[in-house]
Amino acid sequence: MTQNVQPLREGQRLRVLVVEDESDIRELIRFNLEREGFAVEEVGDGALALERLERRLPDLVVLDLMLPGMPGLELCRKIRATERSASLPVLIVTARTSEIDRVLGLESGADDYIVKPFSPRELVARIRAVLRRAHPDLAGESRGTYQRGRLTMDFDTYQVFVEGKSRELALREFELLRFFVNHPMRVYSREQLLDQVWGRDTFVEPRTVDVHVRRLRQAIERDDSQPELILTVRSVGYRFNPEALD
Ligand code: CA
């Protein structure tokens, strides 16, 4: 068997820079984004955020408006006015609905906004939507849908249906299932799955794969104590068997 060591674009962790001076909100955002598989960096000051962006660009910025150092709108305008960051996706966080007209005005150039207090679920949905608009090529070969037997995956909306019923999958489980449906019948070790789905620079334990496989089985198998789709290959790893979908 030839091992596919080419990292998939969707397997790389997307990096989000969170610019927010309130540490409890920053923590909340970090916790929820990391749980969904994003790599998160934090900074609590607008001027420091600009310095950080000059060194390295993330894939998306979550930007609070009321900041020490430099106000969020000014930072957003600077991001837009700088050539290398002009198309960097920016999601504004604001506590004041009266600011929204200015936020979405041409002068700031933000991609979208979310009003405090927000639910983690709404935040993640907004971030995904902004990223999809900014990187239509993100899903690469597997854009569109996968449909076989009782399983349907929509790679644009990140929805999964089993026998027509929607199933909630965390981003990581979704990416794992995407990898499996694109590479049926082949056996992958936990380390190979980490490389392909989590990204090569990841520092998670191979056992983490087992946790996500278990959750994925609960979501898509008819009986997760007797899996037919994601098969354990003893002392090696896992194999996806799409024939059990028919
Ligand atoms: Ca603030």
What is the average per-residue pLDDT within 34-39?
86
Distance 56 CA to ligand 1 centre (A): 23
pLDDT reported for residue 103: 67
Distance 104 CA to ligand 1 centre (A): 18
Please write the tens of the pLDDT for every residue from 205-241. 888 899 999 999 999 999 999 999 999 999 899 999 9
When divided into structural domains, the chain yields a total of 2
Distance 64 CA to ligand 1 centre (A): 6
Residue 95 makes CB contacts below 8 A (sequence gap 6+) with: 65, 66, 115, 116
- pLDDT(140) > 50: no
Distance 13 CA to ligand 1 centre (A): 27
Please write the tens of the pLDDT for every residue from 102-139. 666 556 778 888 888 888 888 988 888 888 777 665 54
Which residue, of 107, 134, 161, is where some domain finishes? 134
For residue 211, give Cα distances in angstroms to 57, 185, 216, 238. 32, 21, 9, 13
What is the average per-residue pLDDT within 75-99?
87
Please write the tens of the pLDDT for every residue from 60-81. 999 999 999 999 999 999 998 8
Distance 41 CA to ligand 1 centre (A): 17
Three-state secondary structure call for residue 167: strand
Pair 20, 125 in one domain: yes
Distance 45 CA to ligand 1 centre (A): 9
Which pTM value belongs to this model? Answer: 0.55
Residue 20 makes CB contacts below 8 A (sequence gap 6+) with: 26, 29, 42, 44, 62, 63, 64, 67, 93
Pair 24, 63 in one domain: yes
Distance 25 CA to ligand 1 centre (A): 9
Pair 60, 157 in one domain: no
- pLDDT(143) > 70: no
**Full domain range(s) for residue 26:** 9-134
The Cα 133–Cα 34 span in angstroms is 21
Strand-strand pairing, 15-19 and 145-148: unpaired
Distance 211 CA to ligand 1 centre (A): 36
Pair 162, 104 in one domain: no
**Bridge partners, 147 (sequence order):** 152
For residue 111, the 8-state DSSP code is S
pLDDT reported for residue 2: 31
Distance 213 CA to ligand 1 centre (A): 39
Q: What is the CATH number of the domain that holds 227?
A: 1.10.10.10
Distance 68 CA to ligand 1 centre (A): 8
Distance 159 CA to ligand 1 centre (A): 33
pLDDT reported for residue 158: 84
Of the candidate ranges 169-183, 196-210, 211-225, the one whose mean pLDDT is the lowest: 196-210
Pair 128, 61 in one domain: yes
Assigned domain for 172 exists: yes
Distance 100 CA to ligand 1 centre (A): 15
Task: Please answer whether residues 99 and 65 qualify as being in contact, where contact means their C-beta atoms are separated by less than 8 angstroms.
Answer: yes
Length in residues, the chain: 246
